Structure 1
Amino acid sequence: MPERPSPVENDLVVVLTYYAPYVSGLTNVARDVAEGLAARGWRVCVVTSKHDPALPTHDELNGVRIVRAPVLARVGKGTIGINLTRMALYEMRRSRVANLHLPLIEAGVLSRLSPIPVVSTYHCDVTLPPGLINDLQRRAIDRASTGALRRSAATVVSSEDYARNSRLWSVIRPALTAIPPPCIPCGEGRPAFRDGPGFHVGFLGRLVEEKGVEHLVDAFRALDDPDARLLIGGDYLGVAGGSVVDRIRRHAGDDPRISLLGFVPDDRLDDFYASLDVIALPSVNAFEAFGIVQVVAMRAGVPALASDLPGVRTVVGTTGFGEIVPPGDAAGLTAALARLRDDPPDAEAGRAAAVEHFGVDTVLDAYEAVFIKAADR
């Protein structure tokens, strides 16, 4: 970065609703970009909500300074509180460029009042169940995102495929830059989660509506293979908006081949991926826009089974390492699982393709170039 004037204390300020230790695809993208740039010498500050009251207001994690704003109220998956806006604007005045991670209800106000250039990372459209309150919330978030995108020096999306199918494509398009998420590869793990020599299918993610896990459970139960196993890893306790774990349990019934593992901590992820023959991402709506777990699994030599949704399908489509199935199609999932079991794709070729197209350094280089260009404006 160029020399900074003395009042500037942050090269980059990142603003989003949830940040580590909360775990989601959006949160992980923001964290990995922030920490990756901090490791390159950037001074990075993250302003986020204090989603857990026990967390400190001021913190530092892996070279990133974190400021957490107390939450006044929660609506669905979002939070409400003027504290985040106030604290974000304070840090913006001490920074060179801002990165807003959308959807973010405060994005419209922040982009309007920002004293510095703004880069927006647009992750996904908000999809909520039918209902008056949810409809009002969706419209409010879309208005905030629209305002921020129109005022942004650049708009980063995980794939042009997803962006073109977004409700907000018309305001995303003028300043679009497609950069995939930084997908941190796992290390060499032990197959500690395996239960026998059979075909092992894995899911990893929050157990929420949009993930479509019950369809995967139905598909797996239809797989006539007594030695097969389905390992479902993911948080269902501290999930914004609530989990669907009870629904998944009903669909699983008393099938002893299916295991609900709960949250899989970072220090066990290597072993989880090493235990799999296939990773499944059976998402059912547009709130899923990429699916980082696909790339991480591929880099461990594990093919992916993904839904034919904008953005989600791009990883398998780009690498050719796996199968794509229509969302919510349990019969299609069963057939794809059987194909991947009986005729597995080449693991080394799949791993190489994932490294070529989704390398972390390439992603960080692209983000760094976008931020520098915006700051120089």
Structure 2
Amino acid sequence: MVSKAIQNVRGFGDVLPAEGPAWQFVEATFRRELERYGYAGIRLPIVEKTELFSRTIGEVTDIVEKEMYTFTDRNGDSLTLRPEGTAGCVRAALQRGLLHNAQPRLWYSGPMFRHERPQKGRYRQFHQVGAEAFGVSGPDIDAELILLSGRILRALGISDLRLELNSLGSSADRGRYRAALIEHFEAHAEALDDDARRRLYSNPLRVLDSKNPAMAPVIAAAPVLSDHLDDESRAHFDSLCRMLDQAGQPYQVNPRLVRGLDYYGGTVFEWISADLGAQGTVLAGGRYDVLVEMIGGRPTPAIGFAAGLERLVSLVEAAGTAPPAPTPHAALVVGDPELQGDTLALAERLRDALPWLHLQMPLGGGSMKSQLRRADRSGAAVALIRGAEEAAADTLTVKYLRDDLDQITVAIGQLPEILSALQTQ
């Protein structure tokens, strides 16, 4: 029993071997589909300067105010474990010159950190995969990214999803809408909770995102952003909707769909699962045309999405679409301890000759019977037995563990032919 003093920190979970196949399936599916659309992988540091997030996410957000893991290093610099991936990806693209006369498409994956209440499919250390596209201002990239995200979710075998869309408009649109929201909520101040009152003048759009059921009526009666869009923002969103219609992609326009991060504007979208309850979003994205400039670059249009892997793995496991864990094709059993080193060398020759072969040795000694028990528990299709007689004759005995076939003794040179029959198993 592990001492309680050194057990893992609450909200920081382990991914056990039995869960591995589902995780690998999700990660491999994202990689395959993103690369098909021209996205290149980028690896980003887990630690960034705190200012990157406070400047881009917004000072008056739950992430910056309450959820970031921030510390001061030995040089006196304030550093933060990344709470999301977009800001770091934009920082890297700008700092490394990837945006110079180019329209890069990048993707990344890895752990993120937020000190929030752990919930189903979301922990304080959680994992995301994200995709970001730069340099294209039209609605075509919005449509393609949404269609790409839908393709990935279908490839994972996840059903019962709905796509919701909205437009946050331009900065000027949000300014007009912000004034209308403040006026509305001031008139219903008695219905606001403490969080809403605190955010009312600094970030009133976040009031719309409240999960407090007591505030639902006043939020439902609030003005909608679509009534405050200028002609350019409305034309962009209408064109996006037409493209999705032409592609046969169903969606719902949700005028209450907003973002908690300051850098978003224009198109926002979410894929939502009915199987995850109130916290049902499995993939979310949108435009952030101001973010590159906020960090210090030239104005650059951009759009991206991020998906939580824990939630997707949960849905994949429920759907049963992940492949089973691989089992060895064969287990090489040693009948004589004196043959151990020579048999290890034989195993290496077999792996060299058959790169696809999953070959396991029940190491650690023991009787032939106990080794065969371990070979059977491993799930191997056959046991390859090498005792003193087999070593002298340069043969191996093949014992079938899953099929009702008689064991046979074959020359070592014949093994590749015998084992090749296991390649499709």
TM bin, normalised by shorter chain, reads under 0.3
Q: TM-score, normalised by structure 2?
A: 0.23
